[in-house]
Structure 1
Amino acid sequence: MHLNPSHVVARLQRVVRDRIRPRLHTPLAEVTIDAWRVDGDGEPVPAARAIEHGDFQPFTVGDTWAPAWGTTWLRVQGQVPASELPVELVLDLGWFDHSVGGHAEGLAYRPDGVAVKALHPRNGWVRLTGPGAAPGVLADDGSFTLYVEAAANPLLLGLPPFIETHLGEKPGLGEPEPYKLVSAGLCAFDPEIFALLRDLEATGDLLPHLSTDEPRYWRVLTAVEAALDAPTVAGARAALADALARPAHATAHRMTAVGHAHIDSAWLWPLRETRRKVARTLTNVLTLMETDPDLIYAMSSAQQFAWVEQDHPELFERVKQRVAEGRIVPVGGMWVESDAVMPGGEALVRQITYGKRYFMDTFGHESEVVWLPDSFGYSGAWPQIARQAGYRWFLTQKISWNDTTTFPHHTFQWEGIDGTRILTHFPPADTYAAEVTSAELKHAVSNFRDKAISSHSLLLFGYGDGGGGPNREMVARAHRFADLEGAARVELGRPEEFFTAAEAELGDAAPVWAGELYLELHRGTLTSQVAMKQGNRRSEALLRTVEYLATVAAVRDGVPYPYKQLDEAWKTVLLHQFHDILPGSSISWVHREARERYRNLEVDLKGLLPVGRGEPGKISGWSVAREGDWAKPAGNILDNGILRVEVDGGGRVSSLVDLRDGRQLNVGDLGVLRLYRDEPVRWDAWDLDRHVLRNETSLPQPTVTATSDAITVTTKTGKSTFIVKYRLREGVAAAAANGAAAGGAAASGAAGTAAAQLDITVDVDWQETEHLLKLSLPVAVRTLRAKYETQFGSIERPTHENTLADEAQYEVCSHRWVHVAEPGLGVGVVNDSTYGCDVRRIPGGTDIRPTLLRAPRFPDPDTDRGRHTFRFAVVAGDETVTRAAADDLNAPWLEALADVEPLLGLEIESGHAVIDWIKLADDRSGDVIARVHETRGGRAVARLTSTFPASIVETDLLERPLEATGDRLILGPFQITTLRLSPIKE
């Protein structure tokens, strides 16, 4: 028999599309539909309200439903006819055959308000009879009533290629109705047709990945042709049976396949919609588990479990049962899948402690794997934080998105800034939403970069981002690939099973990657939606202050510690650190709500300041220097006896001199605002492309004026206004007096001088589109590397572009400070609310350029329009002085703070260390928790001092005891130590 491969493949596609797939569902009977559009603003209502009080009106196929973002409830009723095959209700709400989770979705409920199954473009059925039928739906006489909550979410993901849209907010009245009910009816589902489709997928889709030089190719091709010739379904399956029975090669790559649905807690939909997405996804997973006992589903984010617990208690009980069986696996142990570079160190700790405690209290389960498949880069502090929280493994795949270099490993030991290592895996399929296709398996095998030492990888399958999870087609494919010649071996399993096996296989042979996992993409997320950055930074600072002062009041005066209020505050902060909220890559609706929550949170936290004996005073803002603390300008010159600043007629600092040694600190003009055309190639809010920094837009000549305490430079262009103020503090102030005391931190071994710094305030009325704003601060320091603050330490990055990887870091994350140094001179730049930054060598020195604002068009075309204030300081001194200035600039100013005697302190014997955080223990025992860390990447010896008698025990990050500890601490480079002080009653 002569076989033409291209003819067979084309025939296969046609037969499947036109002759087999249409037979999967055979229409049996019509249904009756009534509809109720949710009143008022169309926001979701509880199922009980819709079912009991909805004004349902007749509705037919072809009718439109709901405006964008609206909700329509459908009441579907019918009589199930007799059938030897399972009967399913099949609905098409008007969706596209793509972007699952990215547009219309539905959730079916019984009349008693219990959710039974979700509907989406690849899962538009509810089974009524046969194996896996929805329980409690069908009456004895064969009748049924189902209520479908239909969500009219607009299709934003499919906009080609992410163009400007105003659908990120609810449209106005008269907005066209986007969806039409295409079909609804009762159908017989044919399991043999379904099985044949999967058989043909497994064989036909395998062909492009087999070599035509091998017998296997031709035998599979022959089997497919014979199946297409067969007159019956049984005959077709029999023709394929031998080809499907051939086992995989002995050396075939192994893949542990885990059902998954990476659900963004907010993105192209608001938080309220995510609550519904999680419930919809879980109903689908639970339905699938009824008919497939091998399916394992991994789900992260304690917040998402908590939403289901609140919104759907019946569904949550089913989830708990599957967790107890080990079939639903809570992974990650974090409150949300947060951004992994911008949250502060303590915030990352709380992501873990809140998440892990929820999982342990609710399910009796502690995850051992950090689960962050989609965050935009990973701080080098993660390995230590993870291991100190009880994790053994780390998972992501996002680094596969690099735009410049290819990461060299998929399974490796990741070494953090302190030297801690954690086994890390990147699934080589390069996705967290696989569909278990032959193409995905082939890519994973060929892409896997550790073949010489490992034969095993992880496959996460199921619709993600907008949810949906695995469907029955995916699971059937996984079974076909369990042991099939020409493909990887696929086994449904748990993440822990994979990591345990990989750990055993690699032994000591795992390669090591040291330092951060920098994502060479999405650099703009360090700047987009500046209110997210400012809200997060200020919330972290306020929590640090309030928890410290509440601890002081509790220990000294017996004032009740506000556990509940602080828990709620932390959960708000942690939720908004999600990796599409804090990075500024969500629709305007999300950020509008977040701005309001941050404002309310600030009010609430200020209200938690303890009142009573030794009251520390009220928070009055973030201005460290008060009236009369600023040096008065003499014309365009500022001089406080320590620094001398000259501002030229163009508003630039032409001279910045350290009067202590006469050294010129700037090289060229300092303080220049630089405006660039910012026109990303693809991901608007996400990406800052290379070409942007080549396209500077000239700004008009500014006006320069001197006031009683500042030199002010005002520039106007178009509708935007930029006001830069230069100020020097008068005399010498106590470095970090405010920051250290307010946060509970102790001195780190060297006192700085807060007057050796030039303070710069930038006020912007931002009315730009597709532009980017930077502040240029060129300093006369020649160095090959700069230091940037990161969680519990700092990281060094190159200031040159010697290699592709060096050049790719043209925009990086800095927390509160950057420091550059050469022998005999150090200069730092501190900020109060920015994260994006670039530091590059220039003739004679180094240009430090924080990024202030962007104006992307998608997904929020009005990003950051309005007024913003940024504060910076250029600080002369070593790294410790810079850190102290950053403490001052970022801590809220407290009146009468000097009257509060520090609760704890560190006496430094050698090196550098701080008490980073002080709070009461989470178990409400009244014990005091102190988080200490080394700050300079060296070694430190310090003695902890306390104003109250206490026994001291070292703990892990979840405050579980490790060993008894004295008051003398020996710390390694960037080491974190958590100490539990139990007061001793006298």
Structure 2
Amino acid sequence: MHNHLSRTLERLDRVRRDRILPRIHTRSAGVEVEAWTVADDGEPVSARHALGLAGDPGRTAPGYRPFPLGAAWGQAWATTWFRIRGTAGQQDGPLDLVLDLGWFDHSVGGHCEGLVFTPDGTIVKGLHPRQSAIRLRGDGAVPGLLDADGAFLLYVEAAANPLLLGLPPFVVTDHGEKGAEEPFEQFRLRRAEIAAFSPEIHALACDLDVAGGLAAELSADEPRHWRLLRAIEEALDVYDEADAEAGARRARAILAPVLAAPAHASAHRITAVGHAHMDTAWLWPLRETVRKLARTVSNALALLDADPELVYTMSAAQHFSWLEEHYPELFDRVRQHVEQGRFVPVGGMWVEADGVIPTGESMVRQLTYGKRYFISRFGREPREMWLPDSFGYSGALPQLARRAGSRWFLTQKISWNDTTVFPHHTFWWEGIDGTRIFTHFPPAETYAAEVTARELRHAVTTFKDKAIASHSLLPYGYGDGGGGPTREMAERLHRFADLEGAPRVTSRSPAEFFQEAEAELRDAGSLEPVYRGELYLELHRGTLTSQTAMKQGNRRCESLLRAAEYLSAAASALRDSPYPHADLDEIWRTVLLHQFHDILPGTSIAWVHREARDTYRALEERLHDLIKQATAALRADLAVTEPGAAAVEVTDGEDGGTVLDDGLLRVVVDGGGHVVSLLDQRSGREVVPPGRRLNELQLFRDEPVRWDAWDVDRHVLRHPQVLDEVTSRKVIHDGPDAGVEVVRRTGASTITLTMWLRAGTGRFETACTVDWQERERLLKVAIPARVSARTARFETQYGYVERPLLSNTASEEAMFEAAMHRYVQVADGDYGLAIVNDTMYGADARADGDSTVVRLSLLRSARFPDPHADQGTHVFRWAVLPGADVPAAVEAAYAFNAPDIALLPPLVRLELLSGHALIDWVKQADDGSGDLIVRVYETQGGRASARMHCHEELGAEAVLWETDLLERELTGEEDLPLAVGPTRRSVSDVRLDLGPFQVATLRIAAQASPKEDIK
């Protein structure tokens, strides 16, 4: 018998592909097709314009012409509208309109797509390679598609998005930019016809899919494997395509008993949630995501309407907001399903942001803007952070999530690690401050499952926490480019609900899963797994450097927003100037949008980054205007900084070198333009190790194995090419400061280093201007320090990550490139050194004998998805601070990144009693009350105490209390440490006690209400 059944699965594949699937749809009649390609600039028009219901200003009126089957349509990124007429016959049974716009058999959401409309503008559904039929008659048909005679008229908005993701994974092409001159092979309309749909044959295809998939995953030692094969063999014997309907019924009757066998009592339990991970931009521009949302959501809603058991999830408030703005009728349908608990907003963030690059306040705003949107539109607050695809996760996130009212965290990206295997799937993640959040990694290791037997088996086999947990989550539905779940996925879900040899699969909301899984983990007692610190992704390290203009634009906007909100709050509090809530909200939402995990990290097509650069420039101009308005109102309060008395003395050194000396630091720049000595005269400590050179530029061949813009592979860093060529060198002066300018060349690129000793600051600063014309090259600057350390402190949101400088273990070695924010600090004994920067996020640091070498990553030039990435001129700044501990590094980093504005006496300040803490952000409350919001955090990973003092003009009657990140008063029952306690207090008597890296949000009101108990 075994030999007889050995080729059953091969037979099944052939029969299903050639004799069953083609019989699901049987041609009934042809249709008449007309087409109109959008002219002008090629950008999309509204549906009302294309349907002739209302004209878009300045756009050419539609002109439909007959369009033959097999003809090509649309250049890259063009839109063609098809007008399709037909008449359905009077035969019984479901009837579909079947279209093929030129699908490839992969990359759902990665090439051409369509959206179907009725003549009055009602959205019917989206089209993609796995969703190509529109139900005209029968269950699931939109009422009114057919008139009394069976005639119909439909419109299809077809988007000719070029296929940029292929096999091997990438196609290096200029089609990632609008109007690329590179020839584009147009898509072709291969099929357009009315076809009868057979529910029985479709059901047989699904039965065989599940039975065959399960049999393939079960061991040949298991009886269940052979019984499934026997049933499949017998079912194939009785199926005859000559009488497919009857054959399907006979075959299903044979399969029914094996598909009715229940799962084992101890079977793993999987919660399946419909999902369509939607990249806000990636291989398409932002405007295309708006249309992708309409296609995907319309399909999801149709599936929910057809199947009452299904639940669908969608993250990113920005995506809901786009639906609300551009597709209000679709948004209304979403709202109805949200009320029913079937369409579930998840994540509570504005977008699925990058998890490491945004500053702490940006991560706060991702949560506050996202949650407030969901609360205002749906009356629901998501309780989970939902970041399946970001490229690493800061150790600050557990605290921020919990302080925003969230209980759970989800990702699956850590399964992509290239070196070590993460030890858990269900665990408590403990942040750098000690806050814990319940965390789950779906063990199927995908956010775009198809509910196949292979995925379910993988989830069970891979799940690391079987001894204490029996639940996992499965997000299913085509993702990245959208598409979402399909009818076939739903059919598999139902068949796997309770099936021998498989886990039990249930459709329910993520919150129901998290509640049950968290309770189960708590029952484990002392066995509860805890993972401490950042979730470092051992992959995609190049995203910290790719498309450096994204990082620079984000950093500048964050710094300008900090200044604009503080000055505007001061102008309002002290001079009764209107606070620009609307302007700041709009700017914040745009900054948050561009922190999406394929925009800010630099992994989108050229079109996305070109638009983002323009957007950042416009935002910076608006922020400068807001700062000018606030400073004008505060003119009388502003202070002028007097120049210091120190000055840099410049003398000639040996061999054409230059010596810079301000009495604090003594710097020697040799004739080749390298720093060979940096003496800290306060301690007598020489910083540059013997034989080493500070500010050494190193060039590397940057040829990733797989993911160009994403990865810096370890082999890249093995063979640095030191850039020694000097085109010019000169000494420069600027008031009391002095420096050396050195120009170097490599290939077609020019690099200008201007190294400054800033008099009296204890800071040696470098400005670097690069005219970058390289491709597949990585540029770093090496800063060796004679500091013997085992770890280095890399700044992250509201604290730092202490990273190993040694490579004793595989996980230590895997951190060969890691994220930093504004500083890296190293120390031995009581002597430290910090390097601060104004724009970089990637660095490596390793111990080298009795020294430490830090290398900042400046530029890359990956070929995919933007073949011209980073070409052009870039400016970087960094500074070395000998003798700096962490508090000095933090304060220097703030100053180094702050915009050049006049000083304002502080609205609030801290009087430190012990440890170190600082005020990170000051702004007005989001509710328009005029209350002041102050964000404070401890900086060293220790404990700090301070008294808060407020500007006298805030008033003696002002009161203060502590809130969560959404500025809701904390009561002390939230299981979060409080800095000032759960009672309201007069601002004249406020003491803060902060734990390690603790963040506190304080709210100050001008005066207490009569009912308030002030202590």
| Shorter-chain TM-score tier | over 0.9
Conserved 8 A contact 2:784-2:853? yes
- For normalisation by structure 1, the TM-score amounts to 0.95
Q: Which residue of 2 aligns with 1:191?
A: 199
Q: Which residue of 2 aligns with 1:740?
A: none
Q: Distance in 2 between matches of 1:150 and 1:626?
A: 64
1:683 maps to 2:707? yes
| 1:26 to 1:858, Cα distance in 2 relative to 1, 3 A | same
Q: Which residue of 1 aligns with 2:976?
A: none
Conserved 8 A contact 1:629-1:729? no
1:972 maps to 2:992? no
- Choose from 865, 888, 899 the match for 2:895: 888
Deviation at 1:582, TM superposition (A): 0.4
Q: Which residue of 1 aligns with 2:244?
A: none
Paired AA for residue 973 in structure 1: P
Residues 31-78 of structure 1 deviation map (CA, whole Å, 9 limit, x = unaligned): 111100001221111001111141101111111101011000000111
Conserved 8 A contact 1:256-1:492? yes
Give runs of aligned pairs for residues 28-43 of structure 1, distance below 5 A: 28-43=28-43
Residues 601-632 of structure 1 deviation map (CA, whole Å, 9 limit, x = unaligned): 000111112647864579x9xxx999998735
Q: Which residue of 2 aligns with 1:903?
A: 907
Conserved 8 A contact 2:575-2:633? no
Give runs of aligned pairs for residues 498-577 of structure 1, distance below 5 A: 498-507=513-522, 508=525, 509-577=527-595
1:271 maps to 2:295? no
Q: Distance in 2 between matches of 1:885 and 1:126?
A: 62
Paired AA for residue 581 in structure 2: Y
Paired AA for residue 701 in structure 2: R
Residues 875-897 of structure 1 deviation map (CA, whole Å, 9 limit, x = unaligned): 02211111121111100011xx2
Q: Distance in 2 between matches of 1:627 and 1:106?
A: 66
Q: Does 502-511 or 167-176 show the bigger shift?
A: 167-176
- Choose from 650, 655, 660 the match for 1:633: 650
1:118 maps to 2:126? yes
| 1:768 to 1:193, Cα distance in 2 relative to 1, 3 A | same
Structure 2 unaligned residues grouped into runs of 5+: 53-60, 240-246, 653-657, 971-981, 1010-1015
| 1:971 to 1:230, Cα distance in 2 relative to 1, 3 A | same
Give runs of aligned pairs for residues 271-420 of structure 1, distance below 5 A: 271-420=286-435
Q: Which residue of 1 aligns with 2:950?
A: 946
Deviation at 1:233, TM superposition (A): 1.2
Conserved 8 A contact 2:571-2:634? no
1:918 maps to 2:940? no
Deviation at 1:212, TM superposition (A): 2.0
Q: Which residue of 2 aligns with 1:797?
A: 803
Q: Distance in 1 between matches of 2:505 and 2:558?
A: 44
Q: Which residue of 2 aligns with 1:818?
A: 824
Deviation at 1:597, TM superposition (A): 0.1
Q: Which residue of 2 aligns with 1:748?
A: none
Deviation at 1:13, TM superposition (A): 1.2
Q: Which residue of 1 aligns with 2:225?
A: 217
- Choose from 729, 733, 736 the match for 1:704: 729
Conserved 8 A contact 2:9-2:216? no
Residues 130-177 of structure 1 deviation map (CA, whole Å, 9 limit, x = unaligned): 111023322232111111000000000115242421111123468444
Q: Distance in 1 between matches of 2:631 and 2:922?
A: 20
Q: Which residue of 1 aligns with 2:490?
A: 475
Q: Which residue of 2 aligns with 1:746?
A: none
Deviation at 1:20, TM superposition (A): 0.8
Q: Distance in 1 between matches of 2:809 and 2:354?
A: 27
Conserved 8 A contact 1:247-1:483? yes
Q: Which residue of 2 aligns with 1:665?
A: 687
Q: Does 528-537 or 9-18 show the bigger shift?
A: 9-18
- Choose from 610, 623, 648 the match for 1:592: 610
1:579 maps to 2:579? no
Q: Which residue of 2 aligns with 1:752?
A: none
Paired AA for residue 399 in structure 2: Q
Give the secondary-structure state (helix, strand or coil) at the position aligned to 1:711: strand
Paired AA for residue 899 in structure 2: P
| 1:192 to 1:625, Cα distance in 2 relative to 1, 3 A | farther
Conserved 8 A contact 2:577-2:633? no
Q: Distance in 1 between matches of 2:104 and 2:644?
A: 62
Q: Distance in 1 between matches of 2:766 and 2:188?
A: 56
Q: Distance in 2 between matches of 1:818 and 1:383?
A: 22
Paired AA for residue 939 in structure 2: T
Q: Distance in 2 between matches of 1:106 and 1:209?
A: 36
Q: Which residue of 2 aligns with 1:936?
A: 940
Q: Which residue of 1 aligns with 2:55?
A: none
Q: Distance in 2 between matches of 1:630 and 1:663?
A: 21
Give the secondary-structure state (helix, strand or coil) at the position aligned to 1:923: coil
Q: Which residue of 2 aligns with 1:203?
A: 211
Q: Distance in 2 between matches of 1:213 and 1:765?
A: 65
Give the secondary-structure state (helix, strand or coil) at the position aligned to 1:121: coil
- Choose from 76, 95, 102 the match for 1:94: 102
Conserved 8 A contact 1:633-1:711? no
Structure 1 unaligned residues grouped into runs of 5+: 732-754
1:445 maps to 2:460? yes
Give runs of aligned pairs for residues 770-849 of structure 1, distance below 5 A: 770-849=776-855
Paired AA for residue 410 in structure 2: L
| 1:985 to 1:292, Cα distance in 2 relative to 1, 3 A | closer
Q: Distance in 1 between matches of 2:161 and 2:557?
A: 31
| 1:565 to 1:612, Cα distance in 2 relative to 1, 3 A | closer
Conserved 8 A contact 1:557-1:613? no
Deviation at 1:503, TM superposition (A): 1.0
Q: Distance in 1 between matches of 2:919 and 2:2?
A: 78
Deviation at 1:510, TM superposition (A): 2.4
Deviation at 1:698, TM superposition (A): 4.1
Give the secondary-structure state (helix, strand or coil) at the position aligned to 2:7: helix
- For normalisation by structure 2, the TM-score amounts to 0.93
Q: Which residue of 1 aligns with 2:871?
A: 865
Q: Which residue of 2 aligns with 1:642?
A: 664
Give the secondary-structure state (helix, strand or coil) at the position aligned to 1:847: strand
Identity %, equivalent residues? 57
| 1:379 to 1:176, Cα distance in 2 relative to 1, 3 A | closer
| 1:614 to 1:55, Cα distance in 2 relative to 1, 3 A | closer
Q: Which residue of 1 aligns with 2:243?
A: none
| 1:74 to 1:979, Cα distance in 2 relative to 1, 3 A | same
1:64 maps to 2:79? no
Deviation at 1:493, TM superposition (A): 1.0
Q: Which residue of 2 aligns with 1:166?
A: 174
Paired AA for residue 32 in structure 1: E
1:54 maps to 2:62? yes
Q: Distance in 1 between matches of 2:51 and 2:92?
A: 32
Q: Distance in 2 between matches of 1:568 and 1:598?
A: 13
Q: Distance in 2 between matches of 1:56 and 1:191?
A: 35
Give the secondary-structure state (helix, strand or coil) at the position aligned to 1:435: coil
Q: Distance in 2 between matches of 1:630 and 1:553?
A: 36
- Choose from 249, 258, 265 the match for 2:273: 258
Conserved 8 A contact 1:630-1:727? no
Conserved 8 A contact 1:303-1:575? yes
Give the secondary-structure state (helix, strand or coil) at the position aligned to 2:175: coil
Conserved 8 A contact 2:696-2:723? no
Paired AA for residue 135 in structure 1: P
Conserved 8 A contact 2:383-2:407? yes
Runs of 4+ in 1 over 6 A off after TM superposition: 624-630
| 1:225 to 1:148, Cα distance in 2 relative to 1, 3 A | same
